[in-house]
């Protein structure tokens, strides 16, 4: 524990927080632009070339806005809630590796802030803290809509955290470790999205619910709850809640890229070339960034496509479909690994086949149930 090491951590931490804060601003622009293109519009293009100064203009506006506090609000909690929401969103990505070890200034610089040996567990625990901030924001505002938003959010996030956590288990089983760097290195030959296609799908669906994105944006359903838990917030406090939301999007995409899409590893067609991260390690962050952009586009795309689903259906989908399916997937993964170890390593590929079959059966059962309900109604 030398001084230089502490300095290195400090610098990496500061850089990463700055990246997240700036990334939040430009994610809003990216979302607005992409959404506009999907809706056959052009999006913000007045502030600077292609509207690239729009986030700065927004930030300046929010800083100078009046901060309102409801008269009957719980002053302390009302003030703390945005902070409690933002902090987990910032620290959750501390364990995500952004590249292999670099040799700089005569030192080995690792491109992650912390190498926790229970990295995935850390992510799960920090992710569940974020819900406190939202519930507190809803409760302390002393507003019915905000309260409803907070309640919905807590119920939704707790329900989908189960499916999310169980989709992590398949990855941990395959990698044989909960350490994020080892999970990335385990995807050297094949990304886990190939071995865990249904697990990836569950992860992507559950993350949408986890970060309150459309079509699961019940906690802030504009048409029902004005703005949900942040109805009473304005100015910089609102900006903090907004920032937390978008930073969570970045964080969860980074986690998804790491767990299922090879992390900082190169794309499969670039392996063993000069563009592989084994040869040129500084390409790691670039690959990570590209994967992040693609996953974030997926979230925006889904938001632009699907309408919000009903609250009871959301809960039913989480508890009755995603949870049993992810349990089945864990069983399949464990069986596949056991078969591969005992008989032939080629049998590892029984995992995707069996899990796809399980997914198909689930969809078929869903279809049958929905059909039966349709007949009953007719």
Partner 1 sequence: MRVLEPLIELVRGLWTTLRSMFEKPVTIQYPEQKKPVKVRFRGRHILKRYENGLEKCIGCALCAAACPADAIFVESSENTDERRFSPGERYASTYEINMLRCIFCGFCEDACPTEAIILGDQYELSFTDRRQAIYPKEMLIEPIPAGGASTPQKTEPGKYTRSVPEMKDPQD
Per CB under 8 A, 38 contacts partner 1 = yes
Choose between 141 and 253: whose C-beta lies nearer to partner 1: 253
According to DSSP, the residues that pair with 102 across neighbouring strands are 109
Report CA-CA distances (Å) from 120 to 12, 195, 229, 252, 345: 20, 18, 28, 12, 26
Question: Which one, 35 or 339, has the nearer CB to partner 1?
Answer: 35
C-beta of 130 vs 322, nearer to partner 1: 322
Using rule CB under 8 A, residue 76 touches partner 1: no
Q: How far apart are CA 214 and CA 235, in angstroms?
A: 24
Q: What angle do CA 353, 358, 362 make, to 5 degrees?
A: 145
Confirm if 203 and 167 have CB atoms less than 8 A apart.
Answer: yes
- The tokens describing 273, both together, are 């070339």
Task: Give yes or no for residue 363 binding partner 1 (CB under 8 A).
Answer: yes
370 binds partner 1 (CB under 8 A): yes
Looking at the Cβ atoms of 39 and 273, the one nearer to partner 1 is: 39
Instruction: Verify cis geometry, omega within 30 degrees of 0, for the bond prior to 215.
Output: yes
268 belongs to the binding site for partner 1 (CB under 8 A): no
Shortest CA distance to 261 belongs to which of 204, 335, 205, 340? Answer: 204
CB of 365 to partner 1, least distance (A): 9
CA atoms of 282 and 182, how far apart (whole Å): 18
Which of 338, 366, 369, 373 is close enough to bind partner 1 by CB under 8 A? 366
* Residue from 302, 330, 334, 348 binding partner 1 (CB under 8 A): 302
CB of 40 to partner 1, least distance (A): 5
> What is the nearest approach in angstroms of partner 1 to the Cβ of residue 2?
51
Q: Which residues bind partner 1 (CB under 8 A)?
A: 34, 36-42, 301-302, 304-306, 360, 363-364, 366-368, 370
């Amino acid at each position: 524990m030398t001084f230089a090491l502490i300095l290195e951590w400090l610098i990496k931490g500061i850089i990463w927080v700055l990246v997240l804060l700036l990334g939040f601003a430009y994610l809003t622009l990216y979302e607005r632009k992409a959404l506009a293109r999907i809706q056959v519009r052009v999006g913000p293009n007045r502030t600077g070339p292609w509207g690239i100064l729009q986030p700065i203009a927004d930030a300046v506006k929010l800083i100078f806005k009046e901060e309102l506090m409801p008269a009957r609000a719980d002053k302390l909690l009302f003030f703390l809630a945005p902070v409690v929401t933002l902090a987990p969103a910032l620290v959750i990505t501390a364990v995500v590796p952004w590249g292999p070890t670099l040799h700089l200034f005569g030192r080995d610089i690792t491109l992650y802030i912390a190498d926790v040996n229970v990295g995935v567990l850390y992510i799960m625990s920090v992710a569940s803290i974020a819900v406190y901030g939202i519930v507190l924001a809803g409760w302390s505002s002393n507003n019915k809509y905000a309260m409803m938003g907070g309640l919905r959010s807590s119920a939704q996030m707790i329900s989908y955290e189960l499916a999310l956590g169980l989709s992590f288990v398949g990855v941990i089983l395959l990698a044989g470790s909960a350490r994020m760097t080892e999970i990335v290195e385990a995807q050297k030959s094949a990304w886990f999205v190939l071995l865990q296609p249904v697990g990836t799908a569950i992860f992507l669906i559950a993350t949408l619910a986890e970060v309150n994105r459309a079509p699961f944006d019940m906690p802030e359903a504009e048409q029902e709850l004005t703005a949900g838990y942040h109805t009473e917030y304005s100015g910089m406090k609102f900006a903090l809640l907004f920032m937390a939301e978008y930073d969570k999007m970045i964080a969860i995409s980074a986690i998804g890229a790491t767990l299922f899409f090879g992390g900082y590893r190169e794309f499969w067609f670039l392996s063993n070339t000069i563009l592989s991260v084994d040869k040129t390690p500084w390409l790691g962050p670039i690959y990570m960034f590209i994967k992040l952009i693609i996953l974030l586009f997926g979230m925006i795309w889904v938001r632009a496509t699907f309408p919000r689903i009903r609250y009871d259906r959301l809960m039913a989908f989480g508890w009755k479909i995603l949870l049993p399916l992810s349990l089945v997937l864990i069983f399949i993964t464990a069986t596949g690994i056991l078969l591969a170890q005992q008989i032939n390593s080629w049998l590892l590929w029984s995992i995707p086949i069996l899990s796809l079959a399980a997914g198909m059966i689930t969809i078929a059962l869903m279809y049958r149930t929905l059909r039966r309900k349709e007949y009953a109604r007719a």
